[in-house]
Amino acid sequence: MLEHAVSQSRRAFLSRTGQLTTAATIAGLTGGMSREAAAQTTDCARENTVTALTDSHYLLADVRLEEGFERDGDVVVATRTALYTLEIKDGKIAALHAAGAALPAGLPAYQANGQLALPIMRDMHIHLDKTFYGGPWQAPRPRQGKTIMDMIALEEKLLPQLLPTSEQRAEGLIALLQSHGSTIARSHCNIDPVSGLKSLEHLKLALEKHKADFVCEIVAFPQHGLLHSKVDGLMREAMQMGVEYVGGLDPTNVDSAMEKSLDAMFQIALDTNKGVDIHLHETSPAGVAAINYMIDTVEKNQALRGKVTISHAFALTTLTPEKLEETAARLAANGMTIASTVPIGSLMMPLPQLIKAGVFVMTGTDSVIDHWSPFGSGDMLEKAYLYAQLYRGSDEFHLSRSLAISTGGVLPLDNDGNRAWPKAGDEAGFTLTGASCSAEAVARVPARSATFHKGSLVFGGVGKA
């Protein structure tokens, strides 16, 4: 099935992703123009586009930044913006020069062409290690009537086929995320009896090549069950290989021993001084019991405070409002994070209630295209769009607030409309897009034209000044 992909050279693979990014660059640079106008300006835009920028000190002119809200009475009806020249030095935003201000002389200068700058996006739940992305089209097998144990059996056959290309495919996914403005991520990585530590070794090789343009934490993920597949020893080995989080998976449905499974997971974290990020899909009362047991464990172990993430946490959808309030308060008090893909369908995650209670909620792609799902775009701005659409955020103010789930809480304007980002001294991480303000960006999800990470252009292009 994957023979074609295996025989592909890395160069051919990367050039394919490169073609995509060029198309996205042009689409982004032409912002709100008509398709016809965009086609006419394509050649011209390409000639004037700088795609490699190696200066450590430079100016980026005509960057659109948010200035404040415009109100009709109490209601935010619009967002005011202005064009700035960003002075970028040694990976930081050294200064924000307003239009007309005297600029430091002699610096190389580039043009953002009025594109809006958004804070860098964070994909905080993805599986970079096992993906069909970059290979031939392949839909997942039908899931009806299949249990997670059936999926694990399928993986046992699939993993040896994926491993030969997993490093280059991880690089392809990194390029995809960058093209959507993400340069910060948390990737789960299989630790299982079939691939052993190989998935992790390949992922680390891919990340090593992107040390300068992509930051990624790794979660060692016992996809076939920590107890069920007897990988406690492998997990402990993985912890010595630069992994930051101990993963876990449905302790009742997969390991058939909720407390024992969670205890084993937490023990690895405590012994190795790491955090925890568990996949918890269970919606039965067992899922609720697992959440309560994890909160109890964190309460009893100060070392785990602020270091535990529950991914998915679908069981929270089954709680009464009173129980939810109580659970959210306990999650917040223990610094526990929820990672959600913002699912659509019958499971409406109570994300606004969690956020209101002070729980840190982050989002991620999970699957781009693999044997679980073919629908992932790798675009965190799209997650903000989903969040706004699902939770009645269609007005200017709430659209702009929805961006927080994609950026780790970093927003251009605070709730009162004062500029909170960017500030001089901030790391120069941002993405440029063809929108007039972040509310429009969230609602319309325009293409990104460029992504900067620590002052380096890591995707797309900017103009020549």
Interface residue list for Zn ion (CB under 5 A): 366
CB of 365 to Zn ion, least distance (A): 9
What's the rounded Cα separation, in Å, for the pair 437 and 115? 10
Q: Which is nearer to Zn ion, 127 or 180 (CB)?
A: 127
Helix, strand, coil percentages for the chain (3-state, nearest 5) = 40, 25, 35
CB of 279 to Zn ion, least distance (A): 5
Q: Which two tokens stand for residue 231?
A: 């990988």
CB of 366 to Zn ion, least distance (A): 5
Adjacent-strand bridge partners of 309: 277, 337
CB of 125 to Zn ion, least distance (A): 6
CB of 152 to Zn ion, least distance (A): 14
Q: Which residue is nearest to Zn ion (CB)?
A: 366
CB of 221 to Zn ion, least distance (A): 7
Q: Hunting for tokens 């034209």 — which residue is that?
A: 449
CB of 131 to Zn ion, least distance (A): 12
Q: Which is nearer to Zn ion, 248 or 393 (CB)?
A: 248
Q: Which is nearer to Zn ion, 38 or 148 (CB)?
A: 148
Q: Which is nearer to Zn ion, 312 or 401 (CB)?
A: 312
Q: Which two tokens stand for residue 358?
A: 């002070």
- Written in H, E and C, the secondary structure of 209-259 is HCCCCCEEEEEEECCCCCCCCCCHHHHHHHHCCCCCEEEEECCCCCCCCHH
Burial bucket for residue 37 (CB in 10 Å: 0-12, 13-18, 19+): exposed
Q: Which is nearer to Zn ion, 366 or 379 (CB)?
A: 366
Q: Which is nearer to Zn ion, 63 or 128 (CB)?
A: 128
What's the rounded Cα separation, in Å, for the pair 357 and 84? 36
CB of 127 to Zn ion, least distance (A): 6
Q: Which is nearer to Zn ion, 376 or 417 (CB)?
A: 376
Q: Do residues 174 and 214 lie in contact, with contact meaning Cβ atoms separated by under 8 Å?
A: yes
Q: Which is nearer to Zn ion, 87 or 366 (CB)?
A: 366
Q: Which two tokens stand for residue 423?
A: 């500030």
For residues 171-182, one letter each, b for 16 or more C-beta atoms within 10 angstroms of the residue's C-beta and e for the rest, the string is bbbbbbbbbbbb
Q: Do residues 289 and 257 lie in contact, with contact meaning Cβ atoms separated by under 8 Å?
A: no
Degrees, nearest 5: CA angle 394-438-99: 145
